[in-house]
């Protein structure tokens, strides 16, 4: 399919350097090697994106245990969970006991061999491991240390943070939901995955700067900062609120007073153009039979004709955006009378030729079955030796000269022997010594698969 190529690493077959070079030929981040010390979601999101763009990502996991998400929310007994597989494509897995002296030796060699180390441990974990920033610089002055933390420097910097905590402390929850209801989190993982995407940009920028300076540096992406960055329009509205009511918010038209903070705005548009989610045909039985409809000023006349209210175009009570401010609920009620007679896709078919902005509420089922998303590689089907075929998101960034391929996630320790030999140069008796130490898992069992 154009835009994505699914490659299965079959059990019992190592993908060697030559194979990986063939896969990664011409990729944007070819020859960049990432030491992936991340787990759960925020860090793996970042390293997976870098892997899609061509970096060689080596994921370090605890022997016999691995990333905690391998066994979280398991749906297929005996197989890695979708939680893990959908966040760890295109990576190699090596098991290392970092508390073991031989494990520390292997880790030190990895630091020498890699360009970037990415971690999302609790604050201070690397220092306790004996590999803080000063030690890393001693080993490899060109190393870039990229970290996800819950908070930046300040009163909460030592606190652990999860997705919904980040949404709450970053301003998303206080501005999400309806005015008469409690704060709400969003289904989009803006705390974890959103921060991982921010960190990936920081890493690429640090790599670019290193080409000029020759030096590595630290890169920090705090989850609170990432969420706030995505909530910037609400920070904008906080400042506007100090100068008077937010007139494009529907509560203004309803005569509801504003408080001191940016309020929850239901489904109001954040761009200043009134918008709302409206029922469509079948809404009684289909929870997603809705459409988002925006009454853009430039399209007002066409909207009036479409819904059968041509008189509104010249009526001084409706003709201008200012005149409609106190009637926005009534306007959308009337538009909804029209949308309820059509499916959400029929609404789209009617509105798009007229340049009326709207969009159907698409369910995960509808998105997973959309052919165009398969064709562009936005959704990809991948085969896995333990669980069989499954769907996953593909690379959301499309480069014309660096096609993203989606390689299945690694089995635990699948590439331990490969990395020890090909990347770190262990061979012969030295290789046997490291394996016999027990610091790198059961390499014999991996090789025998």
Q: What is the dihedral of CA 154, 157, 163, 167, to 10 degrees?
A: -10
Q: How far is residue 175 from each of residues 13, 157, 270, 387, measured CA to CA in Å? A: 51, 24, 11, 40
Distance in angstroms (rounded) separating the CA atoms of residues 246 and 239: 10
Active site residue 349: no
Nearest partner of 219 among 136, 144, 130, 158, judged by Cα: 144
Residue 153 is encoded by which pair of tokens? 């420097």
- Give me the long-range contacts of 75-81 (CB less than 8 A, separation at least 24): 76/386, 76/387, 76/388, 78/386, 79/384, 79/386, 79/387, 80/384, 80/386, 80/387, 80/409, 80/411, 80/412
Burial of 326 (0-12, 13-18, 19+ CB in 10 A): middle
Are 279 and 290 spatial neighbours (Cβ–Cβ below 8 Å)? yes
Question: Which pair of tokens denotes residue 54?
Answer: 């061509």
Between CA 373 and CA 430 the distance in angstroms is 48
Which H or E element spans position 240? helix 232-241
Other C-beta atoms closer than 10 Å to the C-beta of 75 total: 10
* Other beta carbons within 10 Å of 245: 13
Q: What are the structure tokens assigned to 182, written together?
A: 């409690």
Structure tokens at 123: 């604050």
In angstroms, the CA 80 to CA 82 distance is 7
Q: Classify residue 422 by its DSSP letter.
A: I
Pairing of strands 358-360, 56-61: unpaired
Q: Which of 192, 225, 237, 268 is catalytic?
A: 192
As given in the structure block, the two tokens for residue 240 are 């506007």
Which residues are part of the catalytic machinery? 192
């Amino acid at each position: 399919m154009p835009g994505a190529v699914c490659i299965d690493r079959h059990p019992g077959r190592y993908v060697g350097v030559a194979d990986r070079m063939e896969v990664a030929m011409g990729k944007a981040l070819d020859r960049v090697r990432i030491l992936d010390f991340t787990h759960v979601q925020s860090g793996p999101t970042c390293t997976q994106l870098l892997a899609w763009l061509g970096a060689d990502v080596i994921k370090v996991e605890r022997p016999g245990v691995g990333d905690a998400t391998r066994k979280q929310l398991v749906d297929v007994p005996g197989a890695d969970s979708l939680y893990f597989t959908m966040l760890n494509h295109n990576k190699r897995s090596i098991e290392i006991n970092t508390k073991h002296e031989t494990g520390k030796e292997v880790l030190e060699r990895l630091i020498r061999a890699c360009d970037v180390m990415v971690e999302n441990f609790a604050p201070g974990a690397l220092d306790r491991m004996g590999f803080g920033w000063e030690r890393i610089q001693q080993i490899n002055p060109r190393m870039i240390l990229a970290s996800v933390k819950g908070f930046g420097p300040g009163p909460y910097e030592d606190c652990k943070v999860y997705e919904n905590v980040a949404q709450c402390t970053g301003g998303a929850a206080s501005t999400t939901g309806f005015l008469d209801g409690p704060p709400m989190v969003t289904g989009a993982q803006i705390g974890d995955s959103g921060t991982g995407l921010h960190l990936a940009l920081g890493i690429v920028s640090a790599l670019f700067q290193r080409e000029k300076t020759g030096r590595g540096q630290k890169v920090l992406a705090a989850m609170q900062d990432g969420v706030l960055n995505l909530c910037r329009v609400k920070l904008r509205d906080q400042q506007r609120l100090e100068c008077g009511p937010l007139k494009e918010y529907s509560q203004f038209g309803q005569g509801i007073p504003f408080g001191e903070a940016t309020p929850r705005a239901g489904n109001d548009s954040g761009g200043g153009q009134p918008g709302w989610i409206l029922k469509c045909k079948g809404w009684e039985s289909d929870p997603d039979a809705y459409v988002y409809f925006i009454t853009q000023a430039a399209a007002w006349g066409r909207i009036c004709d479409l819904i059968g209210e041509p008189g509104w175009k010249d009526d001084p009570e409706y003709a201008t955006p200012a005149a409609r401010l106190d009637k926005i609920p009534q306007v959308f009620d009337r538009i909804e009378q029209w949308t309820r007679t059509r499916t959400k896709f029929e609404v789209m078919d009617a509105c798009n030729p007229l340049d009326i902005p709207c969009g159907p509420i698409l369910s995960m089922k509808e998105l997973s079955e959309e052919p165009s998303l398969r064709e562009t590689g936005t959704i990809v089907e991948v085969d896995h030796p333990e669980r069989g075929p499954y769907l996953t998101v593909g690379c959301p960034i499309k480069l014309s000269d660096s096609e993203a391929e989606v390689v299945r996630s690694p089995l635990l320790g699948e590439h331990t022997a490969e990395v020890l030999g090909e990347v770190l140069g262990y061979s012969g008796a030295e290789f046997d010594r490291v394996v016999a130490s027990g610091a790198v898992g059961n390499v014999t069992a991996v090789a025998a698969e």
